Amino acid sequence: MSHNVVAMILAGGKGTRLGLLTKKMAKPAVSFAAKYRIIDFPLSNCANSGINTIGVLTQYEPTVLDSYIGNGEKWGFNGVHALLTSIAPRQTDEGANWYKGTADAITQNIEFLDGLSPDYVLILSGDHIYKTTYNEMIDLHVDSGADATISVIEVDPKEASRFGIMAVDKTDRITEFQEKPKKPKSNLASMGVYVFTWKVLRKYLIADKALDTNHDFGGDIIPAMLNDGLKLQAYRFKGYWRDVGTLDSLHEANMDVALDRSDLHFHGDRSTRIYTEDTYSLPHYLGREASIKSSICNQGAIVLGNVNSSVISNEVLIEEDAVVDRCVVMEGSVIKRGAKVYNAIVAPNTTIESGVVVNANSKEIALVGGKVSH
């Protein structure tokens, strides 16, 4: 990375739509694809881009996430010329302030960024699943002379009203931004990945702080820059990307991996490898009568029953005659003899008792946790 870039990862959201999965931990710390946590993706993308100065902005239930991030060794950020640090809201002379919005999270850390003197700031979300390097996007930002560059992805026009939509000219300069429009003018959706020239962003953050706004990048900072005639450039992202902020999207993304419907390919190109904690020394075990089809099974799992199109995390036990179909079974869970679970996310350390049937005839995603009995 030849440019002077600092990455700031927004990882403080409460994640209420994930229910009990985020009751005691921040959303970016939630398990994904049997072996990973969601935060592994933006951090690995930074590592693979040569970006080694990163702030992770935490707020809601940060203990698990902070412990997991540690000194950044998993991603190679523990060297002399690297910095990975978690930054929570703090009490100052002005009082104690929660982060009020995505932009305010950066505003409250202007001094941190000033101390690093970056030319450019890369803003990332901590709850997206995708593999990339940011170098091409940053090069586009620098070469085009943009004040801000926004990563966009083409979405189904029927789904466009769910996103922040960018209208662009023939050079992909952004001409208009629509936040979840009823009548979208394009199908280019913002991914919540931004590159800003720091001096410009700093000015707009300070101005926004004094206003009665939601202090949000998509709702406030980007529109203000557009209104002032600044140059905002769209970067067209090609590849797999998914926001996993809902149970449906988290389940679907896990199924994409299990059924090889994505281009994530964890065993593929080492230049975009996803790094994670790998502390499970025990292999997984498949019983003589076990059946596993189109599934992922992590170390330490014991499968004696029947698994189809599912993601099985570490230290899971699936007993004889149990059926697990289109499920995400998180770490430490036990599916007892004869139990049947369909189309569900099983929270960590859940026990589903013998003979229990979960979600047999529903297309809705079920989320189960604790001790599930008749």
| Mean pLDDT confidence for 20-33 | 91
Q: Which CATH number fits domain 5-258: 3.30.70.990, 3.40.50.1820, 2.60.40.10, 3.90.550.10?
A: 3.90.550.10
Q: Phi first, then psi: what are they for 341, rounded to 5°? A: -130, 130
DSSP 141: H
Residue 165 CA: distances (Å) to CA of 14, 183, 242, 350: 24, 10, 16, 40
Taking a C-beta distance cutoff of 8 angstroms, is the pair 371, 356 a contact? no
d(CA 209, CA 339): 54
Residue 92, pLDDT above cutoff 70:
no
Could you tell me the two tokens for 226? 């557009």
Give the contacts of 27 (CB within 8 A, at least 6 positions apart). 11, 13, 14, 15, 18, 38, 126, 127, 245
Q: Average pLDDT for residues 309-326, to the nearest whole number?
A: 96
Pairing of strands 53-57, 5-10: parallel
pTM of the model: 0.93
Residue bearing the bigger pLDDT, 360 or 247: 247
Structural tokens at position 101: 């919005």
The answer to whether the beta carbons of residues 365 and 18 sit under 8 Å apart is: no
At 279 the three-state DSSP class reads: coil
Share of the chain above pLDDT 90, in %: 67
**Averaged pLDDT for residues 147-168:** 90
Q: Is the pLDDT reported for residue 91 higher than 80?
A: no
How many other C-beta atoms lie within 10 A of the C-beta of residue 282?
11
- Residue 237: both structure tokens together: 């992202």
Does 239 score more than 60 pLDDT?
yes
- The CATH architecture of the domain made up of 279-372 is 3 Solenoid (2.160)
For residues 302-321, one letter each, b for 16 or more C-beta atoms within 10 angstroms of the residue's C-beta and e for the rest, the string is bbbbbbbbbbbbbbbbbbeb
pLDDT at 171 over 70: yes
- Assigned token pair, 374: 């008749």
First vs last Cα of the chain: how many Å apart?
A: 57
Distance CA 141, CA 138 (A): 5
Q: Which residues pair with 329 in a beta bridge?
A: 312, 346
Residue ranges per domain, the chain? 5-258, 279-372
pLDDT for residue 267: 60
Cα distance between residue 158 and residue 305, in whole Å: 41
